Copies of this chain bind each other. A is one copy, B any other.
Amino acid sequence: MSSTGPTIAEVGEFPLIASLVRDLPSDPAVSVGPGDDGAVFLLDGSAVVSTDVLVEGVHFRRSWSGAEDVGRKSVAVNVADIEAMGAIPAALVVGFSAPGDLPASWAREFMTGLREESARAGVSVVGGDTTAGPVITVSITVIGQTAGIAPVRRDGAVPGDVVAIRGRLGWAAAGLVVLGRGFRSPRAVVDAQRCPEVVYGAGRQAAVAGAHAMIDVSDGLVADLGHIADASGFAINVDTSLLEVAEPITTVGMATGLDPMTWVLGGGEDHALAATFASGAVPEEWQPIGTVLDPKNVPEPTVLVDGQPWEHPGGWTHF
Is A94's beta carbon under 8 Å from chain B? yes
User: With A128-B51, A319-B8, A319-B132 known to touch, is A84 a contact of B38 (CB < 8 Å)?
Assistant: yes
Judge if A97 is at the interface, Cβ distance under 8 Å: yes
A8 to chain B, nearest CB (A): 6
Q: Which of A95-139 contact B (CB under 8 A)?
A: 95-97, 100, 126-135, 137, 139
**What residues of chain B lie closer than 8 Å to A53, measured between beta carbons?**
95-97, 129, 131, 133, 137, 139
Complex-state Cα separation, A57 to B100, whole angstroms = 14
Q: Does any Cβ of B come within 8 Å of A75's Cβ? A: no
Max count, chain B CB within 10 A of own CB: residue among A32, A35, A51: A51
A36 at the interface (CB under 8 A from B): yes
Please measure, in the bound complex, the distance between the C-alpha atom of A95 and the C-alpha atom of B55, giving whole angstroms.
Answer: 11
CA distance A9 to B129 in the complex (A): 28
Contact of A13 among B49, B82, B319 (CB under 8 A): B319
Between-chain CB contacts (< 8 Å), 11 pairs = A13-B319, A16-B319, A37-B214, A49-B126, A51-B128, A55-B97, A55-B133, A58-B131, A58-B132, A95-B95, A137-B137
